[in-house]
C-alpha cells in the first residue's frame, strides 16, 4: 500500500546537472529511511545515497562531493541533486523507502533514466 514515483531523469552532457524527485504515498511510517539506488547496463543495482527521517545521510564514495540527497518529511519526498555528471553516472535511478527497523523490506519505485553523454 506504499507507492513511490520518481521524476526528473533525462539526457545531459558531461559536467551538467539534474535534480531527481521521488514522492511516496500510502501507509508510510513516520520513522523511515529513503534512498536512491542506480543500475547501469550489465551491472548490479548499487547504493547512491540514503537519508533517514531524522536527517542522517550516507553516500557512495563514487558520488561524494557531486551529489546531494535531501528530503521534505511533510511531503514524503526525497530529492537527489546531481552535479558534475559523468558518463559513468548513466543508469536507471530508483527510489526506495523502508521502516527504520533492521531487516525490514523496502518499497521501490519504477525508476527514472539518467543518461550522461560524452
pLDDT means over runs of 10, the chain (118 residues): 95 98 94 97 96 97 98 95 98 96 91 97
Cell of 33: 529511511
Maximum pairwise Cα distance, the chain: 42
Q: What is residue 102's predicted lDDT score, i.e. its pLDDT?
A: 81
Under 8 Å between Cβ of 6 and 93: yes
Q: What is residue 98's predicted lDDT score, i.e. its pLDDT?
A: 96
Q: What is residue 25's predicted lDDT score, i.e. its pLDDT?
A: 96
Q: What is residue 52's predicted lDDT score, i.e. its pLDDT?
A: 96
For cell 540514503, what's the residue?
Answer: 50
Q: What is residue 103's predicted lDDT score, i.e. its pLDDT?
A: 82
Amino acid at each position: 500500500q506504499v507507492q513511490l514515483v520518481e521524476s526528473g531523469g533525462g539526457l545531459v552532457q558531461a559536467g551538467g546537472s539534474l535534480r531527481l524527485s521521488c514522492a511516496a504515498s500510502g501507509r508510510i511510517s513516520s520513522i523511515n529511511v529513503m534512498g536512491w539506488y542506480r543500475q547501469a547496463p550489465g551491472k548490479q543495482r548499487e547504493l547512491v545515497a540514503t537519508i533517514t527521517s531524522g536527517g542522517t545521510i550516507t553516500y557512495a564514495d563514487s558520488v561524494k562531493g557531486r551529489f546531494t540527497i535531501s528530503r521534505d518529511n511533510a511531503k514524503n519526498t526525497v530529492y537527489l541533486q546531481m552535479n558534475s555528471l559523468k558518463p559513468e553516472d548513466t543508469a536507471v535511478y530508483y527510489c526506495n523507502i523502508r521502516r527504520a527497523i533492521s531487516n525490514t523490506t523496502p518499497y521501490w519505485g519504477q525508476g527514472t533514466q539518467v543518461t550522461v553523454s560524452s
